Amino acid sequence: MGKQRKKPEAPLLKVLAGQKQTRPPVWLMRQAGRYLPEYRKLREQKAGFLPLVEDSKAAAEATLQPIHRFGFDAAILFSDILVIPYALGQDLAFVKGEGPKLTPTLVDHNLRLLEKTPNRLNPVYETVRKVAATLSPKTTFLGFSGSPWTVATYMVAGEGSRDQAVTRAMAYRDPQAFSEIIDAIIDQTLDYLSGQIEAGVDAVQLFDSWAGTLSPQQFERWVIDPTARLVSKLREKHPDIPIIGFPKGAASRIKAYIADTKVTAIGLDETIDPYWADQYLPAGFPVQGNLDPLVLLSGGDALDQSITTILDAFSERPHIFNLGHGILPQTPLTHVSQLLEKIRG
């Protein structure tokens, strides 16, 4: 369990320090984004997603928009997990209708031929400084990065996929080359998260969005081990920083993930039964989650019932209310208000 850092009034940091709250603090993954009309307006002013990330003033505004509208208990940095490959020397583009593209792909390209450009991360640190200077002492500021496995899947294949087959095959075929990619990601992510912390974030989250596609042995090798190394190295530099791990799709393997990575808290996706999690995860261990984004999209009685179930399941442990994955762009704002009213009474 992490020691509570600055902002002693912040409910979310109290949860990360192991203190159960009367009502759970709440924030939503991808809360700074396309479901907000003010974000869509801001995005229209930019030539694309990456120029928005690289404009620190605009990125700070995007970070703060959901706080101004809904008063969430945490602001999460507006950025993207793929700034790490960008800093490692891959070219990054966000193609409309297709998603992010990285070149050259590492499935057929030597990692050593990339030219590192860590200065590409400087605008993110400036965004952190701008946001940190304005947030209330009660609002936690979350930084984040992608976990090594998930970032590697994009670097190898050059894009996202449903089953990560290209990357999984490479990891089997040439584990040495793949290990070098993982190691490079760990080193760059360590510097990146340290930079965020030094600029003013209060805690960080590790997104492992594609953790669920691996076999048990590969999960141990490419999710747990690299994450454990990253967490250990980060704690050497910043002993008090709370770290939330989010291995989406890990199912029952989250028990081993918690034990071996030594994260401060675990984010649960919507496929995890919250009653199972409360029964089988370590007593008093902070959990985050895990409302289905589709039930938030649907609203009504189904939303109320799902919220009640999660609140009941985690009523006796430190809990951060969140979604099981990112909020869907078409989610009505009234449904977000309904969620907050239900949680906050």
Q: How far apart are CA 238 and CA 232, in angstroms?
A: 10
- Nearest 5°: the CA angle 138, 29, 209 is 135
CA 257 centroid distance within chain: 16
Known binding residue 80? Answer is yes
Q: Amino acid identity, residue 242?
A: P
The structural domains of the chain, ordered by start, are 11-344 (3.20.20.210)
Among 9, 17, 14, 129, residue whose Cα is nearest residue 63:
129
Rounded average pLDDT per 10-residue block, the chain, 345 residues: 65 97 97 96 91 97 98 98 97 87 90 94 98 97 98 96 94 96 98 98 97 96 98 97 97 97 98 98 97 98 98 98 98 98 94
User: What is the pTM for the complete model shown?
Assistant: 0.96
Q: How far apart are CA 15 and CA 318, in angstroms?
A: 5
- Nearest 5°: the CA angle 189, 103, 77 is 35
Confidence at residue 108, expressed as pLDDT on a 0 to 100 scale: 81
Known binding residue 235? Answer is no
Known binding residue 2? Answer is no
Among 300, 266, 295, residue whose Cα is nearest residue 276:
266
Confidence at residue 5, expressed as pLDDT on a 0 to 100 scale: 53
Confidence at residue 48, expressed as pLDDT on a 0 to 100 scale: 86
Positions annotated as catalytic residues are 30, 34, 43, 80, 154
For 111, which DSSP code? G
Q: How far apart are CA 48 and CA 344, in angstroms?
A: 36
Confidence at residue 3, expressed as pLDDT on a 0 to 100 scale: 43
Burial class (CB in 10 A: 0-12, 13-18, 19+), 194: middle
Among 116, 84, 86, 87, residue whose Cα is nearest residue 103:
86
In terms of DSSP bridges, do strands 74-76 and 140-146 run parallel, antiparallel, or are they unpaired?
Answer: parallel
Known binding residue 147? Answer is no
Known binding residue 32? Answer is yes
